[in-house]
């Protein structure tokens, strides 16, 4: 390839990358930098703003409500790591089984909730959990348990678990597809040898498939961590952070500070700290996986 044609090819690559790069700058980096700047000011939306340095961050470090919201994020994260990834692994094993027919239909059906807007999912599950006309209450009445009532969204002890069920329902199909893609890269001769040795499907799944999917599972874990830390709309639509503050998460807390009490400067500080905490959690997980990989070697 001549130097001229190489330069032409490079120019085409930059031309294709440039729109995405511009979109990334204006939709992510620029708002983040603006939030970072506002977090160092005393700005409530008025024309004038004054520089206050780290005052907002000093207040945030002592803000019990923010840290309780972050603990709720961690609760969601712990539940969803088990339910979304665990169920996705089981579903992937099930769908990939040779005894299952119409695999493509199963894939499409299980992935369908992932394309729904979180607001829609929240409204659906509000109806499901309603104790007067909800699906669960209707089934209980049909089988003769009229008095069976659970405060799915009104109990501080139940609300995070109830919302996690909705989140699992929406995204388990997405993780199932990712894990199935990873399973297709496993050498079939390894599994065939295990079958010849008498290993059942559970033993093959736990002792062979799961270790070989370590990189795929790691990607899924990172997706859960980042997804929980930026989660807002489904929790907002299904519970609004209630009852009380039982299901309030950091994004909801930032929303409340910005649009309910008009503390735009403090809300910006909350948003910046959310990004830092997300990166910290991801770094801790990557360090854990590198240590685990080193131990394996």
Determine the average pLDDT of the residues in 46-65. Answer: 90
Domain count, the chain: 1
Distance between CA atoms of residues 85 and 40, nearest Å: 39
Residue that has been written with the tokens 């139940």 in this structure: 158
Q: Is 48 within a domain?
A: no
Distance between CA atoms of residues 116 and 170, nearest Å: 8
Distance between CA atoms of residues 114 and 145, nearest Å: 32
Between 120 and 192, name the one with better pLDDT.
120
Determine the average pLDDT of the residues in 33-55. Answer: 88
Q: Is 187 within a domain?
A: yes
Distance between CA atoms of residues 218 and 77, nearest Å: 14
Q: Is 224 within a domain?
A: yes
Q: Is 44 within a domain?
A: no
| pLDDT score, position 147 | 79
For residue 197, the domain's CATH number is: 1.10.3720.10
> Which tokens is 112 given?
């369908």
Domain that holds residue 140: 64-296
Q: Contact at 8 Å (CB) between 84 and 231?
A: no
Query: Percent of the chain, pLDDT > 90?
Result: 55
Q: Is 199 within a domain?
A: yes
Q: What is the pLDDT of residues 245-291, one digit of tens each?
A: 999 999 999 999 999 888 999 999 999 999 999 999 999 999 988 88
Long-range contacts of 286-294 (CB under 8 A, 24+ apart): 289/214, 289/218, 293/214
Q: Is 38 within a domain?
A: no
Q: Is 36 within a domain?
A: no
Q: Name the average pLDDT for the chain.
A: 88
Q: Is 7 within a domain?
A: no
Distance between CA atoms of residues 107 and 123, nearest Å: 24
- Is the bond preceding 243 in cis, omega lying within 30 degrees of 0? yes
Between the alpha carbon of residue 53 and those of residues 32, 37, 271, the distances in Å are 17, 10, 16
Instruction: Check pLDDT > 50 for residue 53.
Output: yes
Give the pLDDT band of residue 296 (cuts 50, 70, 90): very low
Q: What is the pLDDT of residues 130-182, one digit of tens each?
A: 888 888 888 888 888 877 788 899 999 999 999 999 999 999 999 999 999 99
Q: What is the pLDDT of residues 211-255, one digit of tens each?
A: 899 999 999 999 999 999 999 999 999 999 989 899 999 999 999
């Amino acid at each position: 390839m001549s130097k001229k044609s190489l330069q032409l090819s490079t120019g085409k690559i930059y031309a294709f990358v440039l729109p995405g790069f511009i979109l990334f700058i204006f939709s992510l980096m620029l708002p983040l930098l603006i939030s970072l700047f506002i977090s160092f000011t005393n700005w409530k939306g008025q024309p004038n703003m004054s520089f206050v340095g780290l005052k907002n961050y000093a207040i945030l470090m002592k803000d019990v409500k923010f840290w309780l919201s972050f603990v709720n994020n961690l609760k969601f994260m712990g539940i969803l790591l088990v339910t979304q990834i665990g169920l996705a692994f089981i579903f992937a094993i099930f769908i990939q089984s040779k005894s299952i027919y119409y695999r493509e239909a199963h894939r499409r059906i299980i992935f369908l909730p992932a394309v729904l807007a979180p607001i829609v999912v929240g409204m659906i599950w509000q109806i499901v959990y309603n104790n007067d006309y909800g699906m669960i209450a209707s089934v209980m009445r049909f089988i003769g348990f009229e008095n069976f009532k659970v405060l799915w969204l009104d109990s501080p002890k139940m609300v995070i678990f109830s919302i996690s069920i909705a989140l699992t329902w929406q995204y388990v199909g997405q993780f199932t597809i990712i894990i199935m893609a990873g399973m297709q890269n496993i050498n079939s001769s390894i599994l065939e040898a295990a079958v010849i040795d008498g290993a059942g499907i559970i033993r093959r799944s736990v002792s062979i498939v799961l270790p070989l999917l370590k990189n795929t599972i790691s990607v899924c874990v990172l997706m859960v961590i980042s997804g929980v830390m930026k989660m807002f709309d489904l929790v907002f639509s299904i519970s609004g952070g209630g009852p009380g503050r039982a299901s309030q998460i950091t994004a909801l807390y930032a929303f409340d500070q910005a649009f309910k009490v008009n503390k735009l400067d403090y809300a910006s500080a909350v948003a910046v700290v959310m990004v830092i905490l997300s990166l910290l959690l991801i770094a801790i997980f990557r360090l854990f996986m590198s240590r685990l990989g080193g131990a394996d070697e």
